[in-house]
Structure 1
Amino acid sequence: MKIALFPGSFDPVTKAHVDIVKRSVGLFDKLYIGIGANSTKPGFLPIEKREQMLRAVFQDEPRIHIIAYEGLTVNFCKSINATFMVRGIRTVSDFEYEKAIAQMNHALAPDIESIFIVSKPGYSSISSTIVREIMKHNGDVSQFIPSAALPYL
């Protein structure tokens, strides 16, 4: 069975995240969307709210499983028997950052392969960080967030 993890903060989930998930889910028998708890910075939305939001967005896809985790992502991959890690790439700087992480992950867990999915051009400017900033200033984020996630904001 091919099992993959798509890790991230999903704070909040964006249409760019959804695009990466939809394009990668068919490659695997099971895809976990892992909401990583970042020990160095508090989240904008509570992890429970992010889980609810992601469950609403992907409720019709039985191969997708939503779960929060703490600690090293490669260790979490091992705990769920994932041998693939999916990462979205929007820009050249994303690639450089993700490449360094993938190389470190490979050193820690050589049996877990990183898979990079390049975002569609229309989604390359969408990031959770920018969406949070718009939300903080009471801007309309509906064009960047999947409609099923909007009630959770």
Structure 2
Amino acid sequence: MSRAVFPGTFDPPTNGHLDVIARASAAFTEVIVGAGVNPSKQRMFDGDERVAMLTEIAAPYPNVTVVPFEGLLVDFCRAVDAQVIVKGLRSGSDYDYELRMAQMNRQLTGVDTLFMPTAPEHGYVSSSLVKEIAKLGGPVDAFLPPSVHTRLIARL
């Protein structure tokens, strides 16, 4: 079909992120996972660590590459010649927030956004919530790919 970007902070990447990667991989000729830097978020893992984790979990999908980026998403899309942005949506509040961003991105560059509803089993999972539970000693292995879980536990 075309080249798509799946952007995020991915700190850490969850099974929900992996689900979107797998589904986008089936829908597009090429998927670039953009491991971004969001200055408003405090990260547990640095950029190289997040890229390494994403590269490892995306390895089964030969049409997926992981690329770090900073700055505006639309500039990144232009730089990698992506025609579509893929966003996973967990809830209506995600939609409300992401719709405004999608409309702005389209206005700025003409890049469209495809919203993928999250699989029900991942709908309540967020990286922030997973980190909070893990920091308090709770079990988070069901929400993370095994290699990511190992890195998270080692970090704590």
**1:44 and 1:148 mapped to 2: Cα distance?**
16
Unaligned runs of 5+ in 2: none
Mapped contact 1:16–1:126 kept (Cα < 8 A): yes
Which residue of the partner structure matches residue 148 of structure 1? 147
Which residue of the partner structure matches residue 133 of structure 1? 132
In the TM superposition, what whole-angstrom CA distance separates every residue of 1:40-61 from its partner, at most 9, and x where no partner exists?
3331211111111111111122
Higher relative contact order (CA 8 A, sep 6+): 1
Residue 123 of structure 1, CA deviation: 0.8
Residue 31 of structure 1, CA deviation: 0.3
Mapped contact 1:10–1:35 kept (Cα < 8 A): yes
Q: Hey, which of these two has a bigger chunk of helix by percent? A: 2
Mapped contact 2:22–2:61 kept (Cα < 8 A): no
Which residue of the partner structure matches residue 99 of structure 1? 99
**1:48 and 1:139 mapped to 2: Cα distance?**
26
**1:109 and 1:152 mapped to 2: Cα distance?**
37
Mapped contact 1:2–1:28 kept (Cα < 8 A): yes
Identity among equivalent pairs (%): 35
Residue 64 of structure 1, CA deviation: 0.5
Secondary structure of the structure 2 residue equivalent to 1:20: helix
Letter in 2 for 1:152: R
Secondary structure of the structure 2 residue equivalent to 1:68: strand
Structure 1 window deviating more from structure 2 (49-58 vs 6-15): it is 49-58
Q: Does 1:49 align with 2:62?
A: no
Structure 1 window deviating more from structure 2 (37-46 vs 91-100): it is 37-46
Letter in 1 for 2:139: D
Residue 107 of structure 1, CA deviation: 1.1
Which residue of the partner structure matches residue 30 of structure 1? 30
Q: Does 1:85 align with 2:52?
A: no
Letter in 1 for 2:133: I
Structure 1 window deviating more from structure 2 (77-86 vs 58-67): it is 58-67
Secondary structure of the structure 2 residue equivalent to 1:143: helix
Structure 1 window deviating more from structure 2 (4-13 vs 34-43): it is 34-43
Which residue of the partner structure matches residue 66 of structure 1? 66
Structure 1 window deviating more from structure 2 (96-105 vs 132-141): it is 132-141
Which residue of the partner structure matches residue 39 of structure 2? 39
Unaligned runs of 5+ in 1: none
Secondary structure of the structure 2 residue equivalent to 1:11: coil
